[in-house]
Chains A and B, each alone.
Chain A
Amino acid sequence: MDRKQPFESVVTAHSQTVMRVCRVVVGVHDADDAWAETFLAALRSYPDLPADANVEAWLVTIAHRKAIDVLRSRRRRALPVDEVPDQTSSMGIPGAEDQALWDAVKTLSSKQRQAVAYHYVAGLPYAEVALILGGTTDAARRAAADGIARLRSIYPGATAKGGTR
């Protein structure tokens, strides 16, 4: 069946994944903006998407561009005093563990965050991650592996597997 689903079905099916990707790439605070910009841009170009396209990969590609825009405009907003958010984050009050996780994510380079988000969170193969990031497949794999290694080394809950408690 290559009829196109109503856009609402796309939102329903992928909103959680897009939100996870946005949180990793731009951080919890700006994730709402990135999510909203992503789905608005997706709605705009949806009629042109081939009916057999991989919708999730398409959305992640859009989220990647929108996340960059959001980060840029945040930098332009300059002084922290100006950063009075006009809405609360969708995270609500994060639990202590979550906060530690997001703090750990923040220490990654932007390339590492993107590679981790697109491969480990969205589940895209490295070849597709490379297309989005604009480098080689190996570079994408390395960035994701470095990012995950760093997260495992600094996230306190991640001692796991044989580690001491």
Chain B
Amino acid sequence: MNRPNSSHRVPRGSQRLDDEVEPDVTVLLASTTTGDEALERLHRRLETAAAREGLLDVAYTTVDTPVGSLLLAATDRGLVRVAYVTEDHDRILEGLADKISPRVLRAPRRLDVAAREIDEYFAGQRKHFDLPLDFSLSSGFRQVVQRHLSEIAYGHTESYKDVAAVVGNPKAVRAVGSACATNPLPVVVPCHRVVRTDGTLGGYVGGLSAKATLLNLESAA
């Protein structure tokens, strides 16, 4: 730990001065830092071991898309959550820890297939998602509506009123709206294909510009 300038003062500038004390061993031990790359490798090892031991209750990753970074989360039953940045990914993960299990781990490999299908979708190369879905974050009428949404074909839209009729409750237009607004799997479960009777967009969990982007993508393909 010899420093070149430790025996005399350097007149000016930002160089070290000799009154700087050597760090004590306690400081040295408490400040050793493992590089990001090494920690990343250890993290992958943890992901693998967790999956092998059946401890990966909720795995997640993020993917970059034309509508921003999307959070993807899966249980062992399937994709359980897709979330826009505007929904606040940290808050979403806290919600998953709360509602499903606190064993929430970043584990991209569990989401390889979902991430690939989403990439293909945004590249205009996929019109239908072929993924196991876990609807455990929704229930009752909302889940009934959400399960129906996947039947709206790519490039087509239905009105909130249409959807209400199809699920057998024609008066429940507002409830259909809230089912869409609380869709835990946007993009994959296409709530963006539900618009107002007059053709205007209505609302969207990812914001109206994201909804327009998805609908434009589908009408162009």
Contact = CB atoms under 8 A, between A and B. Distances in A.
Interface of A: 3-9, 11, 15-16, 19-20, 23-24, 32, 35-36, 39-40, 43-44, 46-47, 87, 90-92, 97-98, 101, 104-105, 116-117, 120-121, 123, 148, 151-152, 155-161, 165
Given A24-B29, A120-B29, A3 B38 contact: no
Contacts of B155: none
Contacts, number: 120
A46 B41 CA distance: 22
Interface string B19-46: 0011111101110111100110111011
B38 A47 contact: no
Given A15-B42, A158-B24, A4 B102 contact: yes
Interface of B: 1-2, 6, 21-26, 28-30, 32-35, 38-39, 41-43, 45-46, 49-50, 53, 55, 58, 60, 93-94, 96-98, 101-106
Given A47-B103, A101-B28, A5 B43 contact: no
Contacts of B42: 15, 32, 35-36, 90
11 contacts: A3-B97, A6-B102, A7-B105, A11-B105, A15-B43, A16-B34, A19-B34, A40-B46, A40-B55, A90-B41, A157-B23
B97 A160 contact: no
Given A35-B42, A159-B22, 19 more contacts: A6-B93, A6-B97, A7-B97, A8-B93, A11-B46, A16-B34, A32-B42, A40-B49, A46-B103, A90-B41, A90-B42, A92-B35, A97-B1, A101-B25, A101-B28, A116-B29, A148-B25, A156-B1, A161-B21
Contact of A20 (B21, B32, B41, B46): B32
Contacts of A20: 29-30, 32
A20 B32 CA distance: 7
A69 to B, nearest CB: 14
Given A11-B46, A16-B33, A92-B35, A6 B104 contact: yes
Contacts of B93: 6, 8-9
A7 to B, nearest CB: 5
Nearest to A49: B102
A40 B50 contact: yes
B26 A148 contact: yes
A138 B43 CA distance: 37
- Ranked nearest first, the 8 interchain pairs of A and B with the lowest CB-CB distance are A90-B38, A6-B104, A157-B1, A160-B22, A6-B97, A4-B102, A151-B25, A6-B93
A7 B104 contact: yes
Nearest to B25: A151
Contact of A43 (B21, B38, B39, B46): B46
Contacts of A105: 29
A13 B22 CA distance: 28
A19 B29 CA distance: 11
A105 B93 CA distance: 40
Give the residue among B46, B55, B93, B102 with the most A Cβ atoms within 10 A.
Answer: B102
A46 B55 CA distance: 10
